Amino acid sequence: MTKSREDHNPGRRKFLKGVGIAGAGAAIADHLWTEAEAQEKQPTTLSGNVKITLDVNGSPRDVQVEPRTTLLNALRNHLEPAVTGPKLVCDVGTCGACTVLLDGKPAYSCLVLAVDAVNRKITTVEGFGSPESPNAVQAAFVEHDALMCGFCTPGFVTTISAYLKKNPNPSLDEVREACKGNFCRCGTYPRVFEAALAAAKATAG
Amino acid sequence: MQQQQQPQAQPSPKPKKKIRVPKVVNGVEQMVEIEVDADAGPGWGPNDKHTLLNHRVTRVDGPLKVTGTARYTYDQRLPGMLYARILRCPHAHARVTNLDTDAASKIPGVKAIIQAPLTELRFAGAPVAAVAATTPEIAGDALRAIKVNYEVLPHVVHAPAAIRPDAPKVVAEENNLQEKGKNGDPQKAEAAFATADAIVEGEYISQRVHHACLETHGMVVDYRGGDTATIYASTQGTFTIAADAAKELGLTESAVTVSVEHMGGGFGSKFGLGLEGLLACRLSKQTSSPVKLMFTRYDEFVMAGNRSGSWQKLKAGVKKDGTIVALNARQYRLGGLGPGSQAGQPYIYRMGDTYREVYALHTNEDSSIAMRAPGHPQASFAVESLMDELAYKIKMDPVEFRKKNLRDEVYHRQLERGAQEIGWSKRNPIAGGNAGPLKRGMGCAVGTWGGGGNNQCKVAVTISRDGSVGVAVGTQDLGTGTRTYTRLIVAEELGLTIRDVKERIGNSKLGAANPSGGSTTAASLSPSVKDGAIKARMMMAERVAPLLGNPKPEEIVFAGGNVSANGKSLSWKQATASLPAAGITSHGEWRADLQSRGIHGVCFAEVEVDVETGHVKPIKMVHVQDGGLPLNRLTMESQINGGMIQSLGMALWEGRVMDAHLGMMLNPGFGDYKLPGSLEMPEMVPIIDDGDKREAVIGIAEGCIIPAVGALVNAVFNACGVRVRELPVTPDKILMGLSKGTQITQI
């Protein structure tokens, strides 16, 4: 299947090979240009795979993606085995459920192209702990029932875990401010705040 | 082996009684009468005597959910799986005259394109076609490459326009306005108004609110030819999908297995196969591949349902002593293509001579569907606003006024508790009477719900010779804590800890279970689990009795991980070692006597209104809720919080915005549809009303979303003196009210 796509657009494939990863920006510009052209002429595929290596939770992960593939999509739908902790909820950077850390800083992985995440340390919620050995934030979320359906939870855990590194002793208002980019629908906010403050205390103690 | 008919001793017939129980079909609760045993065995015992139930226990799936390990439907990825997307109609009313898929089907990676089975498209966002491709991106390319020609027809999307006689018809040959019922005597009500000391007349409007489940609707249909199929679905009803899916796939119902391990929110919107499931089945069948069709967020806003809007014209008369003498209500249910839902007025109050007319008013919008307490927050908002207005007219305290008009003592108890917790005595009775531009105010409201169960759950409890204990039933956990209390009930009955029991749920090959609608899950499931656990305990007691000096099985005590009688004690492992190699399995059936229905709740809210900007800041919310035996106090409180928070959204921020000319939704995304967020959270106080001594399980999820909207709008009035009768209470409406000094209804 991959082969047929490459066959379909050899020029583009060669172009990507030529510029390599450093040319990711150019690849995006090329993508825009191709789309405009596609609208003028007849619809054609915009595909063309590029082989990249992502550093996910400390492991190098080889994957073939199109330049337009988001990091979120690469993690969930292209890596084998998949990394599904980050959730696809809005896909346009409004809800925070797909939050990952890039070199320690929170980012919406639906707004980052996979090719732009090369050479950066990607940490997902799976990278903080396991059910048997959770980090302080994860343990506090369970203890304080800071989750219901749990679909927003990986995003909150990631955001707060990163924030507590930056500010180990936050106030309630600082916690609210830190997770203003994450939405929950079940209504767990009060207990998310409790959990974040408890995790800070546990880490300090 | 041949079965021989054995003559059986006739058991003496148990005394029976008839009860009415709720049954939920497609998220809609109906009442049916059934016959049950009058007394079916041991009960729960007093609510304060439990060792695990009615305690604070962390949820058993918590560790999976906080580490990204829990596998949701959206996380399923199968070998060779295709990704499906739906092409949607951009017009509010149209017919497809030509669908050209030639270019789209030539895109490498596109595996199938099918047309949606709709001849006339009656809302913007109606499905036109569906594609399956090897990646989500290619599926998107295919959607853009499909050319559709439409015959565009006239449309109407706003209620005041739809009610006009010359309005475009939503469905040809049918009136947009459909009468749904009349109750009471209009002449009597009119005569009673003459005896009133004060009259309030107002139009109350509630908006279309979206469920906004974070996990969108959808499923993975795994059918690769052959005799069986598996469907991974984000659903509130594990058993609501197989029959319709089987029809599409050409299989028998039992050949289709439905799995829902974890699900990311439903709130009433996820029952049945749905049009998306039908399309996914057809794509899977056509390609002989697993097909994943999850809604995009846009899809979710335009086609996954919403809370019915309401337009309520109310007129009530009251005497100076607080007696309400008459109500005249004209209620329009705004359900788009659907009938909508709205509880009848005067809702929970007594209002003397009442007359009401109820109508469905149709527009070119997708049908509203069940949403957490369907029809109730709408009716509650209107009547609680009206109650407040009446109280201010006769200068009576709103809490006292409610007590005067509520017979049930439980409400009196709860109103007193809530008033104390919010600090009602500090409230300024003069609306807008506080000094300065930041004005605080308080409001209150009252709600009720059924929450009873029905006879649908079949639970297997298994004790193995190695000591492990399993409980299996096909129910689903929406995030309510179902997994956790299922374990707790079995563990408590067998004297074990929660870690000693493992539950299996979320699969249609396990024992039957009811769909999670109408808050019926807890009261349907827990009696069956309890019954299964009691039976397992008795089966085991008979086995171990010889090791304990042959006591009667019911005299054997299961506690603290030991099995004891006659001063002799066995550890759990010693006891289970006496079981046969296959262990023992009991079959739990529903027992009516272990559940009940009818819950009460009150909500108090304090807000701060900035009269220079019209901005409303919620300060504090208190919700007092009863519910019989609280299975798990920790998760029950979380649900009460959730009810308050979703109400905050409905009261202050959320709402679908439709463009009259284009007929389409203008805010189908979280960037423009304002959900409650972390910055707006007030202090929240969820209170479980332990004054309720009923030793019975009752569902509370919906009861705790009903009164908060009314409490909030009443708090806004108390703060700034502006009565906003149209939701959401946005700054523009408050500023308009402050400048004009009038009640605000914009419609």
DSSP class per residue in B388-444: HHHHHHTT--HHHHHHHT---HHHHHHHHHHHHHHTGGGS-SSTT-SSSSEEEEEEE
- Measured between CB atoms, which of B68, B637, B643 is closest to A124? B68
B27 pLDDT band, cuts 50/70/90, is low
The CATH number linked to B131 is 3.90.1170.50
Q: Output the average pLDDT for chain A.
A: 84
Distance from CA of A119 to the nearest CA of B (A): 24
Q: Hey, what are B476's tokens?
A: 């689903």
pLDDT at A23 > cutoff 90: no
Answer yes or no: are the C-beta atoms of B440 and B497 closer than 8 Å: no
Distance CA A48, CA B394 (A): 74
Domain limits of chain A?
A: 2-127, 136-204
B483 and B590 assigned to the same domain: yes
* B192 located within any domain: no
Predicted local confidence at residue B37, as pLDDT: 77
Least trusted range by pLDDT, from A20-34, B33-47, B61-75, B289-303? A20-34
Query: B222 forms bridges with which residues in the sheet?
Result: B230
Element (H or E) spanning B84, and its range?
strand B82-88
Residue finishing a domain among B549, B579, B594: B594
Q: Please tell me the distance from the alpha carbon of residue B729 to that of residue B653, in angstroms, as a whole number.
A: 7
- Cα dist from B46 to B42, B274, B495, B693, whole Å: 12, 43, 17, 8
Do B501 and B423 lie in a common domain? no
Averaged pLDDT, B258-262: 97
CATH ID of A2-127, from 3.40.50.300, 3.30.43.10, 3.40.50.1950, 3.10.20.30: 3.10.20.30
Same domain? B573 vs B711: no
Same domain assignment for residues B463 and B446: no
According to the model, what pLDDT value does residue A38 have? 47
Of residues B65, B144, B262, nearest to A43 (C-beta): B144
pTM of the model: 0.92
Indicate the range of A64-73, B76-85, B566-575, B738-747 predicted with least confidence.
Answer: B738-747
B60-70 as b/e: b if 16+ CB within 10 A:
bbbbbbbbbbb
Question: b/e map of B713-731 (b: 16 or more CB within 10 Å)?
Answer: bbbbbbbbbbbbbbbbbbe
pLDDT score of A29 more than 70: no
| CB < 8 Å from B in window 145-174 of A | 145, 147-154, 157
The residues, ordered by sequence, that sit 6+ positions from B714 with a Cβ below 8 Å of its Cβ are B384, B385, B388, B398, B442, B443, B444, B445, B605
- Rounded Cα–Cα distance for residues B70 and B64 (Å): 5
Percent of the residues in chain B that have a pLDDT greater than 90, as a whole number:
92
Inform me whether the pLDDT recorded for B525 exceeds 60: yes
Q: Which residues of B441-476 are buried (b: 16+ CB within 10 A; e: fewer)?
A: bbbbbbbbbbbbbbbbbbbbbbbeeebebbbbbbbb
DSSP string for B8-41: -PPPPPPPEEEEEEEEEETTEEEEEEEEEES--S
B11 — pLDDT class (breaks 50, 70, 90): low
Q: Is the pLDDT of residue B26 over 90?
A: no
So what's the pLDDT on residue B34? 79
- Are residues B317 and B266 located together in one domain of the fold? no
Alpha helix positions (H), B233-314 = 242-249, 274-287, 297-303
**pLDDT confidence of B32, banded at 50, 70, 90?**
confident
**Are residues B621 and B682 in contact, defined by beta-carbon separation less than 8 angstroms?**
yes
Nearest CA in chain B to A90: B297
Residue ending a domain, choose from B294, B328, B357: B294
- pLDDT at position A10 is 38
Residue B671 lies in a domain: yes
Token output for A153? 């939870």
Helices (H) and strands (E) in chain B, counts: 17, 28
Asked if the C-beta of A142 comes within 8 angstroms of chain B's C-beta atoms, the answer is yes
The per-residue pLDDT for range B408-441, each reduced to its tens digit, is 999 999 999 999 999 999 999 999 999 999 999 9
The reply to whether B699 falls in a domain is: yes
* CATH number listed for the domain at residues A136-204: 1.10.150.120
Rounded Cα–Cα distance for residues A144 and A192 (Å): 8
| B466, B564: one domain | yes
Query: What is the pLDDT confidence band of residue A34, given thresholds at 50, 70 and 90?
Result: very low
In this structure, are B437 and B460 located in the same domain?
A: no
CB atoms within 10 A of CB A62: 10
- Considering only the beta carbons, identify the residue of B66, B212, B643 that sits closest to A157: B66
Which CATH number do you get for residue B648? 3.30.365.10
Picking from B165, B148, B157, B24, the residue whose alpha carbon sits closest to that of residue B87 is: B148
Residue A112 phi/psi, 5-degree rounding, is -115, 130
* Helices B242-249 & B274-287 angle (0-180, nearest 10): 30
Q: Are B238 and B513 in contact (CB under 8 A)?
A: yes
Render pLDDT for B304-344 as a digit per residue (tens, 0 to 9): 999 999 999 999 999 999 999 999 999 999 999 999 999 99
Is residue B662 within 8 Å of residue B516, measured between CB atoms? no
Does residue B200 lie in a domain region?
no
Q: Which residue has the higher pLDDT, B119 or B292?
A: B292
- A12 contacts chain B (CB < 8 A): no
Both B147 and B21 in one domain: the answer is no
Same structural domain, B585 and B651:
no
- Give me the mean pLDDT over the B205-216 stretch: 98
**Band of pLDDT at residue B16, cut at 50, 70 and 90:** confident
Confidence check: pLDDT of B251 > 80:
yes
Contacts of A31 (CB under 8 A, 6+ apart): A46, A67, A68
- Secondary structure letter of residue B583 according to DSSP: -
pLDDT-derived band at B28, boundaries 50, 70, 90: low
pLDDT tens digits, A67-116: 999 999 999 999 999 999 999 999 999 999 999 999 999 999 999 999 99
* A131 shares contact with chain B (CB less than 8 Å): yes
Per-residue CA distances from B270 to B107, B216, B612 (Å): 33, 10, 42
Average pLDDT over residues B459-475: 98
**pLDDT on residue B608:** 98
pLDDT-derived band at A45, boundaries 50, 70, 90 = very low
Q: CA A151 to CA B234: how far, in whole Å?
A: 12
Q: Judge whether B746 and B406 are in contact, CB under 8 Å.
A: no
pLDDT band at residue B7, thresholds of 50, 70 and 90?
Answer: low
Residues of A in contact with B671 (CB under 8 A): 92, 94
N- to C-terminal Cα distance for chain B? 75
CB neighbourhood size of A18 (10 A)? 9
CB contact under 8 A, B262 and A44: no
Confidence of residue B10 (pLDDT cuts 50, 70, 90): low
Residue B102 belongs to a domain: yes
Question: Rounded to the nearest 5 degrees, what angle is found at the Cα of A165, between the Cα atoms of A161 and A170?
Answer: 85
Number of domains into which chain B is organized: 3
Q: Is the peptide bond before B551 cis (omega within 30 degrees of 0)?
A: no
Q: Do B265 and A149 lie within an 8 Å CB cutoff? A: yes
Q: Quick check: helix, strand or coil at residue A50?
A: strand
Residues B335 and B246 in one domain: no
pLDDT of residue B318: 98
Tell whether the model's pLDDT for residue A30 goes beyond 60.
no
Same domain, B127 and B254: yes
Whether residue B257 sits in one domain with residue B125: yes
Q: Which residue range(s) make up the domain with B467?
A: 16-71+453-594
How far does the CA of residue B622 sit from the closest CA of chain A (Å)? 13
CB B106 within 8 A of CB B57: no
Looking at B260, B294, B328, the residue that finishes a domain is: B294
Convert the pLDDT of each residue in B343-395 to its tens digit.
999 999 999 999 999 999 999 999 999 999 999 999 999 999 999 999 999 99
Chain A, 103 to 122: residues with Cβ < 8 Å from chain B are none
Amino acid at A89: V
d(CA B555, CA B547): 14
Distance, CA of B344 to CA of B331 (rounded, Å): 8
Please provide residue B436's backbone torsions phi and psi, each rounded to the nearest 5 degrees: 90, 170
The stretch B518-529 carries a mean pLDDT of 96
Q: Measure CB to CB from residue B264 to each of A47, A151, A190 and give the nearest one.
A: A151
Contact between A153 and B65 under an 8 Å Cβ cutoff? The reply is: yes
Q: Is residue B250 part of a domain?
A: yes
Contacts B63 to A, Cβ<8 Å: 131-132, 134, 138, 142
- Residues on chain A touching B141 (C-beta within 8 angstroms): 43, 45-46
Residues 20-39 of A with CB under 8 A from B: none
CB half-sphere exposure, B666, CA atoms < 13 A: 10
B736, part of any domain: yes
Structure tokens at A27: 């690849």
Q: What ranges make up the beta strands (E) of B89-217?
A: 94-100, 110-115, 120-121, 127-133, 147-152, 177-184, 198-206
What percent of chain B has pLDDT above 70? 96
C-beta separation of A160 from B99 below 8 A: no
Mean pLDDT of A176-196: 98
B500-B505-B508-B510 Cα dihedral, nearest 10 degrees: 20
pLDDT tens profile B549-564: 999 999 999 999 999 9
Tokens 């004790």 locate to B463
